[in-house]
Amino acid sequence: MKNTLIAIFWLASLLSSAQSRNIDSLKHILRASLSEKEHIKILLELCWEYRFVNADTARIYGVKALSLSQENKWPELEVEALHNIGVTHEAQGNYSLALDFELRALEQRKMLGDESKTANTLNNIGIIYDEQGNFKKALEYYLDARRIYERLGDDSKIAMVIVNMAIVLKSQGEYSKVISNYKQALTLYKRLNNKFGVAVCHANLGSVYYYLPNYDSSLHYSLIAAREFEEQNIRQFLPNSLCNAGMAYNKLGNRNLAKSFLLRAKQLNEEYDNKKELAFVLIYLSGIYMTEGKLEVAEQTVTEALTLSQKINALKEVMDARLGLAQIKAAQKNFESAYKEYQQFVTVKDTLYQKEKSRQLAELQTQYETVKKENEILVLRQENEIKDSRLNQSLLAIFLLIIILGVILTLGYLWKNRLKLKQQAELQATRASLRESQLRAVIASQEEERKRFAADLHDGFGQMITALRLSLSKEIVEKNAINHALRVLSDMNTEIRNIAFNLMPQVLMKGGLEDALKEFAGRMNRSGSVSVSVQVFDVNKDMSTDHRIALYRICQEWVNNVIKYSEANQILVQLVQHPEELVLTIEDNGNGFNTSDLTEGNGNGWKNINSRLHMIKGSIEVDSQTGRKGTTLVVLVPNSIALAA
């Protein structure tokens, strides 16, 4: 699942003198004696003012304004009505209707020649395509709108497009770039004192931090945004921030508050008839109900979400709902239905995330940057032509400056070269130290394993063999002695299997990583003191032996440390295959710790994990804090490395 980002759309006020008038005053003016044109303008303003409060009411005013504008043949008012009606449909997730009205408005905008309003409509069309999951089309319209705003020097609108383009980046998983975009836009909005823009940036930051994952920051920004939207009475976007806050509370372990926020978001989306956002909230609530074991409620909830998603052709929500149904059916032991749902999930996923889309998005971005650079070069060339007429009068001064600059560059080069050599020496020393540390960790780990293996053989088998010899050494062996000997032999067989599993699980070699992790979890769960669960999605069956062993040992090492030190009673191991990388996540509900203790400690466990990661070219992140419950370990392994191994 993914929580929703808020796209911004704007429409310049139709009557600058009426910008500060509220709905009640507009209704009062509407009842007064007005000319036909003024009457239409007030209808349009009411449509615009109602767009965040009640989309159905807003559309009533917009449709009436459209009809009167067409009767009187006033295209400048007709296009505003088309645009406003499109906005009301988009707000409720009626994307086909919204696109139809906005494309009609765009055609008339171009004919009227108003660049600023043309850019507004281009931006709105981009939002609609984005909501439908058509990222290529969305970026095309966003880029067209941005070119116009930059040409007009409109900082507020530039910030708006920066926010909306960041949403496309988020769909590609570029979270660091997304946060940079939002903070850039937030700075512009604060400087412009644009409270709505500030609220939207806060809401979107809350959404992005959820996926880093940084749930404390996600909750912080989401609560700020919810308060700001309530103060501004913007009911369309308030549910998004409530939903994000609920999701963050769920990840932080406060399920009651999570459901409270999500149910409030569900109610507001139902009141506003926002189908897409309602579907998303239902999908997430279904996941919580499933976690609580309420499978029937979970199935009803996610089925409702699927119906809504299919109705508005929201492919991302259709995909998430299918996956949720597959998991619920599996939990109900209805594996045939679970398999069918999972097949449909894969079909939608392939449609939504084709590789060609990513390539085309990158090409469009490159085209935009190229055109921008060419324009900058043209401006510089013109400036240089003007300056050339003055250069002949200062040749001597330029010659002296060149000499001075040459001396400075030479000195700078020598200093930089010296610094570079010093850094290379330090880097080589660091690498040598790291290799030595990794080697010591591997050797220590091997020696520890040998000691443990010897102890297991001596303590376990020594005693059992002695007992077996005593039972069978008598001249006449009684039946009880034989039975006792058989039990000892059975215990020896079990002991041999345990030792063999710890040395190298056969299921890892024969059945693969998923089966080995689940068998490991089963052994941990037999103690009764901890619940270890394993979830594996789309993992490549052809993964190399080195990768399987390394990932298994990392899981084994980390889970054993969690059980030993954190007092956790629940551990979740997830292995997910993404198009570009393999992601291993281990979450627990134990006591947090200072992550610097890992690198500063003297134990070999952390060094052993890093040694294995170094062999498979992986990277690792640990999210934990002293005094906070829950720790998350994330390991990333590039697919190109895994397949080449």
For the chain, the structural domain boundaries read 1-172, 274-353, 357-386, 394-503, 512-644
- Residue 575 parent element (H or E): strand 570-577
Give the single-character DSSP code of 18. Answer: G
Which ranges in 113-173 belong to alpha helices (H)?
Answer: 115-132, 135-152, 155-171
How far CA 2 is from CA of 125, 242, 260, in Å, comes to: 22, 14, 19
Do 1-172 and 274-353 fold alike per CATH? yes
Q: Cα–Cα distance between 320 and 322 in angstroms, integer? A: 5
Nearest-angstrom CA–CA distance, 452 and 489:
22
For residue 58, CA distances in Å to 7, 51, 81, 268 come to: 19, 6, 11, 17
Query: Which among 299, 226, 310, 304 is positioned nearest to 268, based on CA atoms?
Result: 226
Residues 6+ apart with CB under 8 A from 620: 609, 610, 613, 633, 634, 635, 636
C-alpha angle 109-111-115 in degrees, rounded to nearest 5:
50
Q: Which helix (H) or strand (E) holds 465?
A: helix 462-472
The structure tokens listed for 379 are 């401006």
Fold annotation for 1-172: 1.25.40
Nearest to 10 by CA among 100, 136, 124, 108: 124
Q: What is the Cα–Cα distance from 309 to 332, expressed in whole angstroms?
A: 24
Distances from the Cα of 275 to the Cα of 93, 223, 262, 312, 326, angstroms: 5, 23, 15, 8, 22
| Contact between 48 and 86 (Cβ < 8 Å) | no
Which pLDDT does position 355 carry in this prediction? 43
What is the β-pairing status of strands 581-591 and 570-577? antiparallel
The CATH code of domain 274-353 reads 1.25.40.10
Q: Return the CATH architecture of domain 512-644.
A: 2-Layer Sandwich (3.30)
Buried-exposed string 258-281: b where 16+ CB fall within 10 A, e elsewhere:
bbebbebbbebbeebebbbbbbbb
Copy the structure tokens of residue 487.
């039990």
- Angle 62-42-126 (CA atoms, 0-180°, nearest 5)? 45
Question: Model-level pTM?
Answer: 0.42
End-to-end C-alpha distance for the chain, whole angstroms: 31
Rounded CA Rg of the chain: 32
Position of tokens 């497009």? 161
What distance in Å separates the CA atoms of residue 22 and residue 20, rounded to the nearest whole number? 6
What are the phi and psi torsion angles at 74 (to 5°)? -110, 90
Q: What is the pLDDT of residue 330?
A: 92
pLDDT of residue 17: 32
pLDDT of residue 20: 35
Instruction: Compute the distance between CA of residue 452 and CA of residue 115 in angstroms, rounded to an integer.
Output: 76
pLDDT along the chain (645 residues), means of 10: 50 33 79 86 90 86 94 93 92 88 94 91 91 86 92 88 82 81 88 90 90 92 94 86 95 94 93 87 94 94 93 89 93 91 88 57 52 58 66 77 88 88 83 63 57 58 63 65 67 59 64 84 86 89 82 90 89 91 93 85 78 87 92 89 46
Cβ(250)–Cβ(258) below 8 Å: yes
Q: At what angle do helices 395-455 and 605-615 cross, to 10 degrees?
A: 120
- The per-residue pLDDT for 645 is 41
CA 73 to chain centre: 48
